[in-house]
Amino acid sequence: MRKRRMGRYAAMALMLTGMAAWPAARAQSAPSVSGVSGALQIGANLQITGGGFGTKAVAAPLKWDNFESGSVGSQIANGWTADGAANCGAPAHRPLYSSAVLRTNSSRSIQCRFDEASDPGCAGDGAHYSSSFGVSKVPFPGLPVIYMDGWVYYAPSSPESRNVKLIRVHTAFNGSPNLFVNIYCAANSDGMRVDQSVGTSAKVYNNCDRGCGTEPWHGESWWKGSWRHIQLYLTQSSPGGSDGTVKMWTDGVLDPNATNWNNRSSSTYWDTVFFGNYVGHDPDGVCTSPSPGNTFIYWDDAYVDTTLAHVEIGDASTYSACTHREIQIPTLWTSTAITIKANAGSFASLSNQYLYVIDASGAVNATGYKLATTSGDLISPAPIRDLHTNTSP
């Protein structure tokens, strides 16, 4: 194993030794941003100054990719683990770099392929029910804290699948603990849920038929044909304990939001996360029609880390009002200074957007720092203080 990867895992282990004391340590105030400098260009370094950012043992995420460097039609690479299990002797269909469905500013996405029509006669799940990419077999202590961020586009066959797993988090050793993000066919009133094989029972996104209040039903047809933003934050419970965390944001809406989950029953632990992940082609329950056609799930800007601490740029002056946010890529992180590589995502420009720092506890600067620019496309410096009065003009 390369020295750099070993160094990262050592840093993770050191950081995790202090996790037991984390709740009591959360006395620091929310992050505050006092300045940002640098060129507002994709991939350029931006320096963020302020306070209350907390610590991040390794500044960079565990894995991030916008997939722009891949060759269209080739299997996903760049260090990602790829999976494409198949039944009936059919060939594995691992995810590919694709230009078929793209976000604004992008020339590549990842196509996870569940194209059952090539061998529709398979019993059970179907021939091509698995097509995943992710991070796998992280050494002990594995992934007790996970933050995943990505954009997904669902292109189903007709009729829709009975069960689609967009994300799976589990252990590669024996499959358990096993947590997944499910979406269901139109006949299923649950629509969407975070579920798992052991511990706490499933958490339905909207525990009522066809939506509650301002939240719409989030079944497969809601996901179909649009780029949707998923952010998932997980902390693993103690063996048999009810101290695990499951938080998920879908297009910025937080639900579920639970801090009392039992998500493992023994000393086994999460070590693998997959984007993709599963499409069932057979009928089941209220979804009585089989789905033998070609289903594809596209992903872009996929981000995996071992802490909730991260940076986002959003489209509104307060974090709660943002309807569009894009993950940023940190390269340096201290309690008072962060350096990021600017990621526009599908923003036409980062100019006049707002920057937010989220610390490891989830605290955020509620009011964003506006990225105003000058004619040179540089972020405007903070006003010069009067040297006599030490006040802003």
For residue 328, the domain's CATH number is 2.60.40
Same domain as 84, residue 150: yes
Same domain as 39, residue 171: no
pLDDT tens, residue order, the chain (393 aa): 444 444 454 444 433 333 333 333 344 689 999 999 999 999 999 999 999 999 999 999 999 999 999 999 999 999 999 999 888 888 899 999 999 999 999 999 999 999 998 888 888 899 999 999 999 999 999 999 999 999 999 999 999 999 999 999 999 877 788 899 999 998 887 888 888 887 766 566 654 544 455 567 788 989 999 999 999 999 999 988 889 999 999 999 888 888 888 888 788 899 999 999 999 999 988 899 999 999 999 999 999 999 999 999 999 999 999 999 999 999 999 999 999 999 999 999 999 999 999 999 999 999 999 998 643 444 444 333 333 333 333
- Total Cβ atoms within 10 A of residue 29: 9
Same domain as 47, residue 87: no
Same domain as 196, residue 210: yes
Instruction: Assess contact for 52 and 359: CB atoms under 8 A.
Output: yes
Determine the Cα–Cα distance for residues 38 and 360; give it in Å rounded to an integer. 25
Determine the Cα–Cα distance for residues 235 and 232; give it in Å rounded to an integer. 10
Distances (CA, A) of 281 to 116, 159, 161, 232, 287: 7, 10, 6, 26, 11
Same domain as 91, residue 48: no
Residues 6+ apart with CB under 8 A from 139: 9, 271
Residue 123, domain member (yes or no): yes
Same domain as 335, residue 252: no
Residue 348, domain member (yes or no): yes
- Total Cβ atoms within 10 A of residue 235: 21
Residue 378, domain member (yes or no): no
- How big is the CA angle at 21 (ends 17 and 26), to the nearest 5 degrees? 125
The whole-number pLDDT of residue 212 equals 56
The whole-number pLDDT of residue 241 equals 87
Question: 86-121 burial string, b = 16+ CB within 10 Å, else e?
Answer: bbeebeebbbbbbeebbbebbebbbbbbbbbeebee
Range of the domain at 259: 63-305
Same domain as 341, residue 288: no
Distances (CA, A) of 385 to 287, 381, 391: 65, 11, 5
Residue 387, domain member (yes or no): no
Residue 381, domain member (yes or no): no
Closest CA to 181 of 200, 166, 161, 169: 166
Give residue 353's Cα distance to chain centre: 21
Same domain as 220, residue 195: yes
Structure tokens at 294: 């070609």
Q: Which uninterrupted H or E stretch holds 176?
A: none
Determine the Cα–Cα distance for residues 266 and 261; give it in Å rounded to an integer. 14
Residue 13, domain member (yes or no): no
Provide Rg for the chain, Cα atoms. Answer: 22
Residue 384, domain member (yes or no): no
Instruction: Assess contact for 62 and 304: CB atoms under 8 A.
Output: yes
Same domain as 349, residue 256: no
Sheet holding 325-327, edge to edge: 325-327, 310-314, 354-358, 369-370
Determine the Cα–Cα distance for residues 152 and 219; give it in Å rounded to an integer. 14
Same domain as 330, residue 294: no
What is the number of domains present in the chain? 2
Instruction: Assess contact for 133 and 65: CB atoms under 8 A.
Output: no
| Helical spans, DSSP H, in the chain | 3-16, 22-25, 220-223
Residue 345, domain member (yes or no): yes
Same domain as 110, residue 42: no
Same domain as 202, residue 330: no
Greatest extent of the chain over all pairs of C-alpha atoms, in Å: 82
Sheet holding 163-170, edge to edge: 81-83, 132-135, 272-279, 163-170, 178-184, 192-196, 203-204
The whole-number pLDDT of residue 205 equals 64
Give residue 106's Cα distance to chain centre: 18
CATH number for the domain spanning 274: value is 2.60.120.200
